[in-house]
Chain A
């Protein structure tokens, strides 16, 4: 049998298995080799909160979806074209997403009675005809892996664990991924564990050879490299880009960075990345809890460093009181909230956009602060720099919202032009700014720039400018404790106006409305960017006119937003929450913004956006 070579413009593959099966690693590697090959791509890792939920159960299924293409894409794909299921539970949990006629590759060795019943199958789906809508390939991956690794010296129990490399080899063959690079990568990754190295290598090679020789597959496929803008690219996840953004913000401002944080999914990887980068003027501090993490970050900011804290879910709640202090002290502070599904522990590994109102309002007293959001994994880099710029310049805590989907999802990133990154000037005071009645001079920490209302800030260590600040209400200018009612009202309004005034210093919202005559506007923020933009493409392909605005700044909103909103008959706000941005828009601009909400721990599919708008048009 000769194997046909077919060219595809894109393919969506989902690797699914038990948490212990190494599906995330397999997906990551397939992604990395596709990135190096030059495809555009987008990924969606989806895994349980338990490190190893009971083996073989639906609860323990871990999946990694990757979308690769020869053209520019925006999402990890709505439904996979190919599903690799390493056991019955993985099949059961994922099969409903596989497209009609899609390719299903199963590890047939794992379809024994015990595994079937653990997954809740009463009959074996491989024999009961229930899979006849798909092209099913039953491959005994476990036994083939054992066979391939028998000379490596690995014990069978250990050798069996290389079966994900068998799958990787097979799928790499099917989609013509570069072979040698993955071999090199395996060599490097396991260089200190000789038997594991040998057994993974053997399994990978065996999987690849199996595709080639087993005469099971009539064709294999190529997905040609995408046409990218000229430049240097890397494949990056949101958390990684966030960490790089933190480093860049430090270097651009000349400030040392202190990350004060406490481990929590899905934010911990930012800590892990930054902990490696000690020669970049970054220190990381794993505190005893979130309160201490943000407290230390604020203490560092007080001393002239850039204090950063990262967290998610319940960790954000714990930081509220310190945010209030930072607002009162008027010190820079960057809180990066990698949002996850709540309330309480919620779904720790699943994504959500449900902290927007918390970021806006979650503190006692009149306590406004700027809120910034990242829209794609690679965008986290610039979003962090923007958030840090505002924090440093305006001496205020800023909340940057990313989420679990951005954090773990990956995409190619055109490395930024370094000459375009603007320095951030902290402008610390070195001089007295007040003359006392007796002619002596002193430093008043709450004397402000009349236009921006930014206060003057002198660092400890500056001779002569010693002063005290605190969370008690302070007298305008001098900063001395004050209980005067009118002074309090003045300070409350000065702090609020300072934040509102940032509107003059942020970029306008950009409208994507090619013909400028759409009647419907899709207004989004954060990680829904890809799904909304892809939905808009689908609508336009049907000649439906829709406009798209995606917000970077959520507080304050861009100046031109009101004019934009009022231009459209309908404003639809898709969000992974119960309608938080739509509430803000409705109350601020008095327009009937419609909330399109989904709260399932997963992103919107492009087709869902498309359908919602089509239905809306039909019904109105």
Chain B
């Protein structure tokens, strides 16, 4: 295995996001992570759709494709089906993956095809200069909603869990270590993984996540899900999450519950019900919001299952030739 450093993973292209854009810190996290994953550059492919986020592959010194709006999961699926040897990452925005590409996203997750999807959620259309997106909050004033959006947003984590996602996580652009940890885990997962990354678009939606990600708010408003540990948060560790008969889970004062009532986080629960309840704990990034791995379960991976069928056929019939193909037809001979 070649030893690499961050520099080896950076392409010679000048990075062209707006100064201060959250995309820079995500790029840094990925480039820092790559050397420790034990993968080769030539076996790594970044595939994106269209949007600010989707410029990502140009900046990675790997193989890469900047495809079309919303379709990256489809392109990546074809590649993963035929080249299981590759390490495939999809980079997408909230509009790219949840609006025009929503169908491809849910089906990629359902199929559990071996790709890692990094969804840069800035709750806005960046590249087209600031229209509301499927994750923009109700009431959002944008160029296309001058009187405020009258739509409820998608919750990408809930959506991914509903789509049978086997690896679903959330992180944010202000915490490099946490981003890297989520990506590391996604990389270990066999199948489709989705990481929602709260990403600040400082030009069109500045501060969308500051209620929960700014240094002074984090302790109170970020609920860090850690496997095997009770879900406790708050500057004074005085809050926790407990099961709730009505809503699945709820936030409680630690003083009001016993220690064993506190929910122990377990991303490996086969049934997604509790993960889903956790995804619904916050109605948006302005109140205590869980980050971390919501779900990480094993399930048959699509390209591998298809490959098994191929191998079965090869074992039974041998590797086919054109002559075999034609001789299997009902024929008659004229002499």
A residues sitting closer than 8 Å to B (CB atoms) are: 32, 35-36, 38, 228-236, 244, 247-248, 251-252, 256, 258, 260, 277-281, 283, 285, 287-289, 291-293, 295-305, 307, 321-322, 324-325, 329, 415-416, 418, 421, 460-472, 480-481
**Does A299 contact B74, Cβ atoms closer than 8 Å?**
yes
A-B contact pairs, 22 of them (CB 8 A): A35-B332, A38-B332, A230-B335, A232-B332, A233-B333, A234-B330, A234-B331, A244-B326, A258-B78, A278-B310, A279-B313, A279-B318, A288-B107, A299-B76, A299-B79, A299-B80, A303-B83, A303-B86, A322-B68, A464-B42, A468-B57, A471-B68
Q: What are the 9 tightest A-B residue pairs by CB atom distance, in nearest-first order? A: A470-B66, A295-B74, A299-B78, A296-B78, A278-B313, A280-B320, A299-B75, A292-B74, A460-B63
**Does B78 contact A229, Cβ atoms closer than 8 Å?**
no
Contact of A303 among B82, B103, B335 (CB under 8 A): B82
Q: Is B5 in the interface zone, CB < 8 Å from A?
A: no
Complex CA–CA separation, A462 to B61 (angstroms): 13
B residues sitting closer than 8 Å to A (CB atoms) are: 11, 13, 40-43, 45, 47, 50, 57-58, 60-68, 71, 73-83, 85-86, 103-104, 107, 306, 309-310, 312-314, 316-326, 329-335
Across the interface, which residues of B come within 8 angstroms of A36, CB to CB?
A: 330, 332
Across the interface, which residues of A come within 8 angstroms of B78, CB to CB?
A: 258, 260, 285, 295-303, 305, 307
Q: A233-B332, A467-B63 are in contact. List 18 more A-B contacts (CB 8 A).
A: A230-B334, A234-B332, A247-B325, A251-B321, A258-B81, A278-B309, A278-B313, A280-B319, A280-B324, A291-B71, A298-B75, A325-B67, A460-B43, A466-B62, A468-B60, A469-B65, A470-B66, A471-B67
**Does B71 contact A329, Cβ atoms closer than 8 Å?**
no
Across the interface, which residues of B come within 8 angstroms of A302, CB to CB?
A: 65, 75, 78-79
Across the interface, which residues of B come within 8 angstroms of A248, CB to CB?
A: 322, 325
A interface: dominant SS: mixed
Complex CA–CA separation, A209 to B236 (angstroms): 95
Across the interface, which residues of A come within 8 angstroms of B312, CB to CB?
A: 278
Complex CA–CA separation, A481 to B50 (angstroms): 14
Name A236's closest neighbour in chain B (CB-CB): B329
**Does A300 contact B82, Cβ atoms closer than 8 Å?**
yes
**Does B57 contact A470, Cβ atoms closer than 8 Å?**
yes
**A461-B332 in contact given A283-B81, A296-B81 (Cβ < 8 Å):** no
**Does B63 contact A466, Cβ atoms closer than 8 Å?**
yes
Name A228's closest neighbour in chain B (CB-CB): B334
**Does A461 contact B11, Cβ atoms closer than 8 Å?**
no
Name A465's closest neighbour in chain B (CB-CB): B42
Across the interface, which residues of A come within 8 angstroms of B76, CB to CB?
A: 299
Across the interface, which residues of A come within 8 angstroms of B60, CB to CB?
A: 468
Across the interface, which residues of A come within 8 angstroms of B11, CB to CB?
A: 468
Name A325's closest neighbour in chain B (CB-CB): B68
**A235-B82 in contact given A279-B313, A292-B107 (Cβ < 8 Å):** no
How far apart are A187's CB and chain B's nearest CB, in angstroms?
A: 15
Across the interface, which residues of B come within 8 angstroms of A279, CB to CB?
A: 310, 313-314, 316-320
Complex CA–CA separation, A421 to B325 (angstroms): 14
Complex CA–CA separation, A277 to B313 (angstroms): 8
Complex CA–CA separation, A324 to B318 (angstroms): 38
